[in-house]
DNA sequence: CAAACTGGTTTGTACTGCAAACCAAATATA
DNA sequence: TATATTTGGTTTGCAGTACAAACCAGTTTG
């Protein structure tokens, strides 16, 4: 049992909101736009914006900005690195929790 | 898909240090004393003390204070409620893992 | 006796998450 | 046309959090 593995995981991924965002992006394989995430997870714009900035600086997501018609549109997708990090983290947690429930 | 279940898990439990503490307590079925946790997880005294206060106010752990010889000794144990919370968290994580790794 | 150790708690600080406030541009309304 | 509202976000201010340093009460050691 190495519970202390938990203490080494990237803290950026631990937050529930960011974890939900990452899971959403990983689940839908295609890029997801700003407003869809807001609606799906019930977040405010400011909150999503700052979480995304963090996820981007960690290279967990890629942000694409384009114009659709005359309006700006921002879409996000999970990087391969991000997906690996997500799975690693979830497996670490799963592993530890399984050991404790035995 | 209810990734938003993640948003419902108790935030007190999500923190890496507290999760490590809870896992430690749930794994060892007997009460664990202050210093053992510090050594096992590599925490400082102040940090452990405040985390424990939070876990206690959530009723996730029970604190017992007694004197051994002439010295104070504080031991912690996981409550049934705390253990249930861990199990709930495990199920949420397992669910997400299934959905995102497909 | 003083110094150092034990077993913690309290406190100061730096960081974080959140929504309100803001902004630029597009669109609707009169 | 002017101007109000909506869209699609970003920045900012504040409240809460995690952490270790400082502290405290008592004990042991020299």
Name which of A14, A90, A99 is nearest B97 (Cβ-Cβ).
A90
Residue B57 belongs to what domain range? 30-100
Tell me the nearest-neighbour CA distance from B68 into chain A, angstroms.
29
Per-residue pLDDT, A57: 97
Nucleotide nearest to A17 (CA to C1'): C17
Per-residue pLDDT, A1: 60
B10 touches chain A (CB under 8 A): no
Q: Per the domain annotation, does A1 fall within a domain?
A: no
Per-residue pLDDT, A100: 86
Q: Per the domain annotation, does B13 fall within a domain?
A: no
Q: Is the pLDDT of residue B11 over 60?
A: yes
The contacts of residue A63 (CB under 8 Å, 6+ apart) are A52, A56, A74, A75, A76
Is A94:B94 a contact under the CB 8 Å cutoff?
Answer: yes
Name which of B7, B100, B101 is nearest A16 (Cβ-Cβ).
B7
Q: Per the domain annotation, does A90 fall within a domain?
A: yes
Per-residue pLDDT, B1: 56
Please tell me the total count of domains within chain B: 1
Mean pLDDT on B2-10: 85
CA B82 to C1' C10, in angstroms, rounded, equals: 26
Per-residue pLDDT, B102: 67
Tell me the nearest-neighbour CA distance from A12 into chain B, angstroms.
11
Read off the CATH number of the domain in which A26 is found: 1.10.10.10
Q: Per the domain annotation, does A20 fall within a domain?
A: yes
Q: Per the domain annotation, does B14 fall within a domain?
A: no
Evaluated on CA atoms B7, B15, A58, B101, the torsion sign reads negative
pLDDT confidence tier of residue B64, bands split at 50, 70 and 90 = very high
A contact test, residue of B12, B19, B32, B84 with most A CBs within 10 A = B19
Q: Per the domain annotation, does B68 fall within a domain?
A: yes
Per-residue pLDDT, B101: 81
Q: Per the domain annotation, does B6 fall within a domain?
A: no
Neighbours of A73 (CB within 10 A): 13
**Nearest in space to A99 (alpha carbons), one of B16, B15, B20:** B20
Per-residue pLDDT, A102: 67
Tell me the nearest-neighbour CA distance from A42 into chain B, angstroms.
9
- CA distance linking residue B19 with residue A50, whole number of Å: 25
Neighbours of B1 (CB within 10 A): 13
pLDDT in tens, B78-96: 999 999 999 999 999 999 9
B14 touches strand C (CB under 7 A): no
Instruction: Provide the residue-wise pLDDT of chain A in tens; the chain has 102 residues.
Output: 688 889 999 999 999 999 999 999 999 989 999 999 999 999 999 999 999 999 999 999 999 999 999 999 999 999 999 999 999 999 999 999 998 876
pLDDT in tens, B16-60: 999 999 999 999 989 999 999 999 999 999 999 999 999 999 999
Q: Is the pLDDT of residue B2 over 80?
A: no
Q: B14-17 long-range contacts, Cβ below 8 Å, gap at least 24?
A: B14/A14, B14/A15, B14/A16, B14/B89, B15/A14, B15/B51, B16/A6, B16/A7, B16/A9, B16/A11, B16/A14, B17/A7, B17/B41, B17/B43, B17/B47, B17/B51
Is A17:A37 a contact under the CB 8 Å cutoff?
Answer: no
Task: Find chain B residues with C-beta within 8 A of A17's C-beta.
Answer: 7
Q: Per the domain annotation, does A3 fall within a domain?
A: no
């Amino acid at each position: 049992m190495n519970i202390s593995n938990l203490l080494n995981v990237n803290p950026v991924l631990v937050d529930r909101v960011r974890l939900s965002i990452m899971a959403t992006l990983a689940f839908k394989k295609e890029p997801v736009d700003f407003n869809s995430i807001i609606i799906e997870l019930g977040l405010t714009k400011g909150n999503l914006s700052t979480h995304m900035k963090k996820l981007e600086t960690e290279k967990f997501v890629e942000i694409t900005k384009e114009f659709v018609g005359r309006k700006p549109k921002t879409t996000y997708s999970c990087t391969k690195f991000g997906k690996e990090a997500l799975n690693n983290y979830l497996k670490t947690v799963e592993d530890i929790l399984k050991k404790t429930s035995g």
